[in-house]
Amino acid sequence: METEQYNIATLPNGIRILHRRKKGEIAHLVLVVGTGSRDELESQNGMAHFIEHTIFKGTQSRKPYHILSCLDNVGGDLNAFTTKEETCLQASFLNTYYQRALDLLSDIAFQATFPENELEKEKEVVLDEINSYLDMPSEEIYDVFEEVMFKDHPLGRNILGTIELVKGFKREDILDFMASNYSTDAMVLATIGDISFEDFQKMAMRFFGQRPAHLVPNRRKPFKSYQPGSVEMERRNHLSHCMIGSLAPEFSHPRKRTMVLLNNILGGPAMNSRLSLNIREKYGFAYTIESQYNAYSDVGLFSVYMGVDPDSLDKAISLVYKELNKLCTQRLGTMQLHHAKQQLIGQLALGRESGMSELLAITRSMLMNEPIESIPEIIHTIDVITADDLMAQANEVFDRNRLTTLVFRGSK
C-alpha cells in the first residue's frame, strides 16, 4: 500500500480542505457538512434528508438536467447521503475533470434555489422511499430500535422523517434550516486523486474559498437518559425480527477501537464470526445475523440483528445472550486474539483501497476534531489491545441489565 500523506488547510471562510495524492485515472471528491437528522427540531424531522434530495433540483445558473448531466456526460458519478450527524455530497470522476467537479459541488452547496415545483415532485420520491422502507421490516427495525434506545431524543428520530411532516415542507423551511445549521466551519472538502496539493488548494480557493463565511453555534443536544427495556410488536410477516443492544463508546472514546474489535469478533462481516458460526451455521436459525457498532459524537450504539422463524425466535435470543456472556466471562487465548486482530486489520486495509471509503472515514474524523490516523497508526491501536481489555469492554456493554431488546414477532 502506498504511503499515506494528507495535506490539510483551512479556507478564509472556515471550510477545511484535505488532500491525498494518489496515482491513477480516477479521483474522488466529497463535501461533508456536520449537520444531520439529530440537528432537526421535532417539527423538522426529515428536513436534512429532504435537502439532500432537493439540493440537486436547480441552482442560480443550472437547471436540474444540467446538474445531473455535468459529470454523467463525462462518465463521472454524483451522489449524496444523509446520516444522523452528517450530510455528504460526493463525486467520482476522471482526473481531468477536477475543475468541473469542484465548480459543480460548490454551485450545488451554495447556490441551490429549491424551486417550489421541484420540491413538490421530490416529495413524492421521498414519500415512496418512506413507504418502501416501511415494507421492509429488516430495515424498519433498525430505526425503531434507535427510537427505543434514544427515546425522546433527536438521535432516535428516523432520518427520512414522517409522511405528514415531509408533505408540509416549504422552500422557506429549507432555507431557515440551512441558515441555522449549515456552518462553514463545520464543512470539510476532501479529495483523493492524481493532483498536487497546490493545484487542489488553488481550485478549492476559487470555487469554495470565495463563498462568505457563515458561522452558527452548535445546538446539538447530548444524549444522557438511557433506560434499558424490552419491547415487542406484532407484525404480519413470516419471519420474526429481533434486535438486542446497548450503549457503547462514543467516537472519540479511547476504547473505541477495542469496541470495534469486540464487535468484529462477535458478529462482524466475516462468515466466521461467533454469531454466524454458533447460531446460523450450527443451528440454521437465521439467514441473517450480525452485530453493529455505530459511534456518534457523544454516544455509541451496539446492536445485534437477526431474522428468524417465529418458532425459533426464543431459542435464538437465548443463544445470542450465551455468546455475549462468553465474551464477558471467557478470556480469549493468545492465538484467538492474534487471529481476531489480523482479521480486523485486513478488513480495514481492504476498506482503505476504496478511495471514497477512505475519504468518508477521514472527513468524519475531521468533523469530530479527531486526529487522522494512518494505517500503521490504526494497526498499532489494534495491536496493543489485550484480552483483558476486550473482556472489560464486553462486561461494560454486554451487561444483561444494560441491554435493550426489540422484537417484531411474525406470524405464519
* Mean pLDDT score across all residues of the chain: 94
pLDDT confidence of residue 313: 93
Mean pLDDT within 253-267? 97
Percent of the chain with pLDDT over 70: 99
Burial of 403 (0-12, 13-18, 19+ CB in 10 A): buried
Q: What is the mean pLDDT of residues 80-96?
A: 97
Residues 165 and 267 grouped into a single domain: no
Same domain, yes or no: 48 and 104: yes
Between 290 and 375, the more confident residue is 290
pLDDT at residue 270, rounded to an integer: 87
For residue 260, being part of any structural domain is answered with: yes
Residue 278 included in any domain: yes
> Pairing mode, if any, of strands 300-308 and 16-21?
unpaired
Same domain as 260, residue 171? no
Same domain, 126 and 267: no
CATH number at residue 367: 3.30.830.10
**Of 59-68, 278-287, 315-324, which gets the smallest average pLDDT?**
278-287
Reported pTM: 0.93
Please report whether residue 82 resides in a domain: yes
**Would 220 be classed as within a structural domain?**
no
pLDDT value for 235: 84
Cα dist from 126 to 47, 144, 160, 167, 191, whole Å: 11, 19, 8, 10, 29
Task: Give pLDDT, residue 352.
Answer: 79
Q: 263 with 297, same domain? A: yes
User: Per the domain annotation, does 73 fall within a domain?
Assistant: yes
Residue 242 DSSP symbol? E
Residue span of the structural domain in which 153 resides: 7-209
- The per-residue pLDDT for 198 is 97
pLDDT of residue 2 exceeding 60: no
The answer to whether residues 241 and 204 belong to one domain is: no
Q: Are residues 184 and 267 in the same domain?
A: no
| Contacts for 115 with CB less than 8 Å, ≥ 6 apart | 57, 58, 171
Residue 359 falls inside a structural domain: yes
Q: Tell me how many domains the chain contains.
A: 2
> Residue 309 falls within a domain, yes or no?
yes
> Residue range 247-265: average pLDDT?
97
Question: What pLDDT score was predicted for residue 124?
Answer: 96
Using pLDDT thresholds of 50, 70 and 90, give the confidence band for residue 412.
low
Whole-number percent of the chain with pLDDT over 90: 88
Report pLDDT for 1: 38
Establish if 13 belongs to a structural domain: yes
Cell output for 91: 463525486
Confidence tier at 111 by pLDDT (50, 70, 90): very high
Q: Indicate if the pLDDT at residue 3 is higher than 60.
A: no
Res. 338: pLDDT tops 90: yes
pLDDT at 267 over 50: yes
User: Pick the residue with more confidence: 262 or 285?
Assistant: 262
In this predicted structure, the answer to whether residue 67 has a pLDDT above a threshold of 90 is: yes
| CB 169, CB 269: distance < 8 Å | no
Q: What is the mean pLDDT of residues 174-194?
A: 97
| Whether residues 319 and 371 fall in one domain | yes
